Amino acid sequence: MGSALENFVNQVRTMSASGSFRELADDLPESVSLLARNWSILDNVLETLDVQQHTLGVLYVLLAKLHSAATANPEPVQIIQLMRDFVHRNNVEQLRFAICAFYETCHLFTDYLVQKNLSILGIKIMARAVDQIRQIDSQLTPIHADLCLLSLKAKNFNLVLTYLDGDITDISTAAAECKTQQQQQSQHTVDANNDAKYFLLFYYYGGMIYTAVKDYDRALYFFEVCITTPAMAMSHIMLEAYKKFLMVSLIVEGNIAFIPKNTQVIGRFMKPMASHYHDLVNVYANSSSEELRILILKYSEAFTRDSNMGLAKQVATSLYKRNIKRLTKTFLTLSLSDVASRVQLSGAAEAERYILNMIKSGEIYASINQKDGMVLFKDDPEKYNSPDMFLNVQTNITQVLDLVKQINKMEEEIILNPMYVKKALGSQEDDLTSQHPKTYSGDPTD
């Protein structure tokens, strides 16, 4: 046994020294089981390797260590320290030869931390790992999902939000990475199947994180991406995302948000499995808070099972607010007790509290007259002539301009892609007008 490990160390050292990283990366996956079997003396192996010079070797030792974590039961602090050391001092050029193994190591590390209830300590490590491995800032990697999971488990979103706020324009998948590296090992094909899982998980977790920080618009977008991912079969991640999507869209828009037509999966599989949630949407449309309350009570078991009870309560509150908002469209003045009876609140005092909160958050424009117990509903005082509004418009314009630039850039990439040119030219011969490449270059500002 000892000599096999010695062979491993020697192989890593000589091949790293001669710079044949590709060959090393091809050979190493075979040693994982050997390393995992010898978990008790892996620390000795680590001592003979240097993170900078032998990144690949250390990576596989780490992988083996995590694989054997269940039997070896190592000190969590030690594993965390090793990982932290690794992500801070490794050699990225070498790492690129074994991206799949790196992804797998990160996934195992995340599972391990979640299991040990130490998620908060992994957030910075995963963030650093993401920074290292992605080629551009807007690239999505499978470890983004791990970062989100750790943040959710630790309930700490400060760091992860910076990663979520940016738009994604490129995706790095284990499948693509393996293909370029010509690796056909069985464990990697398993990993490749998980690409879709990590993509969906990223958007599902991301949506949950935005819901937690009450950025419902952005949450809705994340859930939408998750459920509109082209698919032949339904993933359970998509189903859960669909349930949350329905609830968040009630809070944001008051009905089911627009869903693009190319998603047959929703109609065929998800709708029947989310019937409770569709009932909720239907009752919500009746605008009766009383009915909604009864329904939520009736389904409370199902909602609690799905961990959606908190969201259900938010939906209930949002209906009160929506009803008050509707009153502002019909009435100019109304007594507080009338407001209470119309939106089914308990009394004038509660109505006043709701209205005050809504004025504070800028949802309605009104003033309360305590002397006569009346509310005066006003129009939006925004005349679109203030400097603040101008600034607002400006930032929006800048955003749109950036978006246009981005689209132009991506379009250029497509036009220059040999595959696309071949296809476009080929179909051009069949049909000169309809498949013309010009159709792709529509200017979005027109």
Partner 1 sequence: MQSNKYNDLLDRLENEELEQVELGAEVYQQLMAIYLYQNKLANAKLLWMRIPDKLKEDKELLHLNQLNLALQNNNFAEFFQKIRYDWSECVKPTMEDLLVKQREELFTLTGSAYVSIYQNNLLQMAQMTEDELKNAVAALDWTREQDGDEVIWLPKAKETPPTGRNDDQLLKLTEFVTFLEN
At 345 the three-state DSSP class reads coil
Max Cα–Cα distance, the chain, nearest Å: 92
Residue 45 or 129: which CB sits closer to partner 1? 129
Do the bridges between strand 333-335 and strand 374-377 make them parallel or antiparallel, or are there none, so unpaired?
A: antiparallel
Q: Please report whether residue 213 would count as binding partner 1 according to CB under 8 A.
A: yes
Distance CA 42, CA 139 (A): 34
Q: Smaller CB distance to partner 1: residue 56 or 149?
A: 149
Q: Which of 401, 403, 415, 425 binds partner 1 (CB under 8 A)?
A: 401
Question: Least separation, in Å, of the C-beta of 356 and partner 1?
Answer: 6
Distance from C-alpha of 160 to C-alpha of 168, rounded to nearest angstrom? 14
Please, what is the minimum distance in Å from the beta carbon of residue 250 to partner 1?
A: 20
Of the candidate spans 2-10, 172-180, 397-405, 424-432, the one that interacts with partner 1 by CB under 8 A turns out to be: 397-405
- Per the rule left: phi > 0, alpha: psi between -120 and 50, beta: everything else, 307 is left
Shortest Cβ distance from residue 360 to partner 1 (Å)?
6
| Nearest by Cα to 100 from 167, 20, 189 | 189
188: tokens are 């990697």
Q: Is 314 helix (H, G, I), strand (E, B) or coil?
A: helix
Report residue 181 as tokens: 């590296």
CA atoms of 108 and 100, how far apart (whole Å)? 12
Strand duo 374-377 + 366-369: pairing: antiparallel
Would you list the DSSP string of 13-51?
HHHHHHT-HHHHHHHGGGGHHHHHHTGGGHHHHHHHS-T
316 scored as a contact of partner 1 (CB under 8 A): no
> Considering beta carbons, is residue 52 or 394 the nearer one to partner 1?
394
Task: Say which residues have a Cβ less than 8 Å from residue 88's Cβ, sequence separation at least 6.
Answer: 128
Q: Which stretch binds partner 1 (CB under 8 A): 31-39, 121-129, 163-171, 300-308?
A: 121-129
Beta carbon of residue 206, minimum distance to partner 1 (angstroms, whole number):
16
Name the minimum Å distance from CB 329 to partner 1.
19
DSSP designation for 270 = I
Binding mask 353-392 for partner 1 (x = CB under 8 A): x-xxx-xx-----xxxxxx----x---------xxx-xx-
Q: Is 313 in the site for partner 1 (CB under 8 A)?
A: no
81 binds partner 1 per the rule CB under 8 A:
no
Tokens of 215: 């950025």
Give the range of 14-22, 45-53, 156-164, 293-301 binding partner 1 by CB under 8 A: 156-164
Q: How far is the CB of 178 from partner 1 (least distance, A)?
A: 32
Nearest distance, CB of residue 365 and partner 1, angstroms: 9
State yes or no: residue 88 binds partner 1 (CB under 8 A): no
- For residue 236, how far is the Cα from the chain centroid? 15
190/389 with CB nearer partner 1: 389
Q: Is 369 helix (H, G, I), strand (E, B) or coil?
A: strand
**CB under 8 Å to 269, separation ≥6 — which residues?**
233, 234, 239
Q: Pick from 88, 155, 197, 268: which binds partner 1 (CB under 8 A)?
A: 155
Contact with partner 1 (CB under 8 A) among 214, 236, 261, 383:
214
Least distance in angstroms from the C-beta of 353 to partner 1: 7
DSSP for 407-422, written as a single string: HHHHHHHHHH-HHHHH
Q: Which of residues 158-177 bind partner 1 (CB under 8 A)?
A: 158-159
The tokens describing 295, both together, are 């329904």
Query: Of the listed pieces 89-97, 292-300, 395-403, 412-420, which binds partner 1 according to CB under 8 A?
Result: 395-403
- Give the x/- contact pattern for partner 1 in 239-268, rule: CB under 8 A: ------------------------------
Number of residues written out for the chain: 446
Strands 139-140 and 170-171: parallel
Would you tell me how many other CB atoms lie within 10 Å of the CB of residue 235? 19
For residue 195, which of 227, 172, 228 has the smallest C-alpha distance?
172
Q: Give contact residues for partner 1 (rule: CB under 8 A).
A: 77, 118, 120-121, 123-124, 154-159, 212-214, 353, 355-357, 359-360, 366-371, 376, 386-388, 390-391, 394, 397-398, 401, 445
